[in-house]
Structure 1
């Protein structure tokens, strides 16, 4: 691997390790209990072989000692109690760490720039949120377990030397080989597990995409093709899984052979000492017990592999936590009618500008339609208007206050959104319409639904407004109208409709447009428009082309341009001007100058 890639991997791993360290701090209470239990377990484990040897020697010499037998029994009972306590503390630590990490991931996703969050597909995010966080959640308690194993191993080795220095040296003879085998295994598993997780993420992403479009797949009869596409990463996943298995199998047989050989060597030396009269018969049991404890470092392969898996998963989780979050301002939002300003706004996606040096003034209280071909930057402009994303350069202001300086809670109460594919959150239909509002009344909810042309639909449902949103048999257009009702209910000083009427029929869109024009008069409205009738009712039309403002003015004025007329599916526009109307033509000509003057003024303000 080239050096730059190695350096990048090392930096990512450091971030992952810091994430694990933060989990340790966040779950210190159950970890402390697990640590105390582990310490007690170490003490009991180290005392048991000696107690067993003392009890056996007392019996073999004919001088049975009640104290020795009682001590052995007490240690066995204590070992059972400590094991139960350790298990409970471990489960508590894992659940606490996993919950804490998942909350952090969800919080970052909700607070992040929507453009940055979109860089990771939904399936990949699900895999990291569910699978990877669970794997990382095991790491803190696994660290405690591995540390306890290391101390136990050290204690067992020291105990072997206290029995007889020859026994201790016999054990040390096999330690270097065991350490090398263990280290090689863990290193190989760590690299292979990362490849396995990446393949699993790609598989999850494709499956999520297919499930989201299941009706299209069924209608097109392309189930077999989709199955093939979804399972395309499967050979890579299978190869990574087999590589993991081969790495484990290759090393496990070495360890399986090594452990009995080390035990046999140590017991042989101890047996020779008994035969020579240097050691008592019970020492053989003591030696066997301490040898098993001393070999605990080799048996720590499972915890070490869990740590390797956890570190790899922590890197993937950190990638989500590293998504750019929108900085939170704390300033109040000044009172105002909702004037919206874009000053030198540029948004980049990689090396490509989505919006390029946009300068716009949206008048307060106006209904403004934004039009343009797909990819012109309309949705990005809508996201910027309510600060769901931030520009790379420039500023967006609401009533003269930069959105980045405003307290997020105050901004959310001042701006209402409706989207192309709304998600009905909150429980029942009424709660979905009032979602995000601190106070609601049935009258206000139904009024918003009437404005969106969906009140009659809701009332026909079995439970009306109390119908659970997830169970309501609604079409795509009806769901979109509920999203509009939610925006109408919020009554913000700025209302943004991001392609929120695309699924409506002509009659319903006319009804919604009437509500935008009449019922919301006095509030600023920004609408992504695709139909000429909507643009014709707007006070102002912004024409985007290639991320820049190509035209600005009344729809009737812009209609003279053939390129503008080509934006709409129908060439017949009720709001179109008469080509021979010189007054309108002059107004249309003046629109270009208005745009140029506005951009010049915007540039001078920067």
Structure 2
């Protein structure tokens, strides 16, 4: 009898060890594969989201979903579920052996089984709540670090002298996470202690009842020892399984946060029968276009914006019945007051948004009937920000055309009047430009984005305030580069400085989302309308400033 029990216990131990190794190997592969699949799925999905998503979302909160929550979901597979199979097998084998020795004592020992289930359910809900709260504070810390550790954010903090306040704010958030961690650890310790106490009570029950049967001669003393030993092996996997349920409940919070992102639907998708932009020179046409930005609930999540609820009201219409046509190889300029809708028109052309009414066409084909890849190959845009990645000059340029040769790159730099500067740098094309290109001046950043545009060889060029923030010297250099970029291409140019659009084939004056005037520079000046007012405001004010004697108060002296 004793020999048989010893063999059975040895078999159980070997089986448990083998299953533990096997399930650990399988779960590790499953868990790491899950991380890979979830991260790539979220990254790919976020890239398809509309621009409105990024204008509303806190970057740190989004990155937290991609990192912390994906890892939290993975733990349920790598760490928790890896032991579930081996624990279940151990539990069933141990129970079978105990039943073969004494079914009465075994059933009595299992009376305490519900004590494992009830606390596990309650603890799972509590741990999920703590996990959700910790995720919120971690996202807030991520947002603060993302914003403050960028070049503009760090500059702002230093200029306004708030490093101490920023540190205090971060410390408060980190303190919340610490407190949640302490509460979580204490809750887990209390839970495990309670389960250990139940196991001890069950062991005492076995010894007491087994001793009673032994005194009556109905049970061998060796069997009592075996039952006691097996009981410890029975309650150990029970404790582990109860803990696994708690861990899974916590991991479900991470899953929910990840799938909240995946459940957001992209507003722009290719139609099944979408085709490429026709070859040859490209015309651009807006036909009766009206547009309002999508409501917040369609493009974002309240938790990503750090608000209680999202506004479900549709956006106010910002464009009203806009119609114009840019012939192939011609330049159309958009001018008007700030907020008039000029940049919105520029965003509709590459289909960053879809119109609410009317259509946008390239070579007579509605952009909704064209593939996104072919639109990107056809249209290039330079904005006033001139965004660059924290990579080398070469990497930033090859973003436009990965197969470009060294000669192609230098030709684009020469045409953008930047070849001399890059050649003078110690590392040349391999010089890292810094985050957002902040190691370069504003004019140099703009010319580098123009070089990228030239390298792409796109047939339609959109310039959205490309020289808005430049001084006169930088603007002159950028204007020379732009002249190269626009040559032979269809161009839509947005500008506040009217001097940059005098040569446009067609000038559109946009106010309050409507085109109120159209014509050439000469025609619009002669009409004496809104364009003439803008022109007079820009060009008469500098002239007045050059005559300081006029309008000086009586008795005032010039500043020496």
- By the TM > 0.5 criterion, same fold? yes
Distance 1:569 1:186 in 2: 67
CA displacement 1:48-88 (0-9 Å, x = unmatched): xx9xx53677xxxxxxxxxx4xx866765565454334333
- In the alignment, what sits opposite 1:388? 352
CA displacement 1:73-123 (0-9 Å, x = unmatched): 676556545433433333222211101111111111222222224332110
Contact map agreement 1:161 1:168 (CA 8 A) in 2: yes
Moved more, 450-459 or 73-82: 73-82
How far residue 428 of structure 1 moved from its aligned partner, in angstroms, is: 3.5
Contact map agreement 2:20 2:82 (CA 8 A) in 1: no
The reply on whether 1:95 has 2:35 as its aligned counterpart is no
103, 112, 116: which is aligned to 2:49? Answer: 112
420, 441, 446: which is aligned to 1:475? Answer: 441
202, 227, 246: which is aligned to 1:305? Answer: 246
SS at match of 2:501: helix
CA displacement 1:167-213 (0-9 Å, x = unmatched): 12222221222211111111122123212212221221122111121
How many residue pairs align between the two structures? 512
Q: What's the RMSD between the two structures over aligned residues? A: 3.3
Q: Against the structure 1 CA distance between its residues 573 and 120, is the aligned structure 2 distance closer, same or farther, given a 3 Å change threshold?
A: same
Distance 1:568 1:148 in 2: 83
- In the alignment, what sits opposite 2:298? none
How far residue 124 of structure 1 moved from its aligned partner, in angstroms, is: 0.7
The reply on whether 1:441 has 2:382 as its aligned counterpart is no
Q: Against the structure 1 CA distance between its residues 417 and 274, is the aligned structure 2 distance closer, same or farther, given a 3 Å change threshold?
A: farther
Contact map agreement 2:450 2:481 (CA 8 A) in 1: no
409, 419, 432: which is aligned to 2:383? Answer: 419
Residues 345-364 of structure 1 mapped to structure 2, 5 A cutoff: 345-350=290-295, 351-353=314-316, 355-364=318-327
SS at match of 2:71: helix
CA displacement 1:545-592 (0-9 Å, x = unmatched): 4444444444555564568856999454899xxxxxxxxxxxxxxxxx
461, 464, 486: which is aligned to 2:425? Answer: 461
CA displacement 1:423-463 (0-9 Å, x = unmatched): 44595323422323153233332232233332222111112
Residues 204-603 of structure 1 mapped to structure 2, 5 A cutoff: 204-212=142-150, 213-231=153-171, 233-234=173-174, 237=177, 240-241=180-181, 243-245=183-185, 247-295=187-235, 296-325=237-266, 326-329=268-271, 330-343=274-287, 344-350=289-295, 351-353=314-316, 355-364=318-327, 365-425=329-389, 428-470=392-434, 473-517=439-483, 520-555=486-521, 560-561=528-529, 565=533, 570-572=538-540
Q: Against the structure 1 CA distance between its residues 573 and 257, is the aligned structure 2 distance closer, same or farther, given a 3 Å change threshold?
A: same
- Where structure 2 has 5 or more consecutive residues not aligned to the other structure, the ranges are 296-313, 544-560
TM-score by length of 2: 0.81
Moved more, 94-103 or 462-471: 462-471
How far residue 249 of structure 1 moved from its aligned partner, in angstroms, is: 4.8
How far residue 150 of structure 1 moved from its aligned partner, in angstroms, is: 4.3
TM-score by length of 1: 0.75
CA displacement 1:386-414 (0-9 Å, x = unmatched): 12333355432211212222122222211
Moved more, 72-81 or 509-518: 72-81
Contact map agreement 2:285 2:361 (CA 8 A) in 1: yes
Distance 2:172 2:336 in 1: 37
How far residue 320 of structure 1 moved from its aligned partner, in angstroms, is: 1.9
CA displacement 1:505-547 (0-9 Å, x = unmatched): 3233234334434652331122332323223343333344444
CA displacement 1:117-157 (0-9 Å, x = unmatched): 43321101110111111111233453453355345435544
The reply on whether 1:86 has 2:52 as its aligned counterpart is no
Contact map agreement 2:23 2:85 (CA 8 A) in 1: no
- In the alignment, what sits opposite 2:302? none
SS at match of 2:496: coil
Contact map agreement 2:16 2:86 (CA 8 A) in 1: no
The reply on whether 1:201 has 2:150 as its aligned counterpart is no
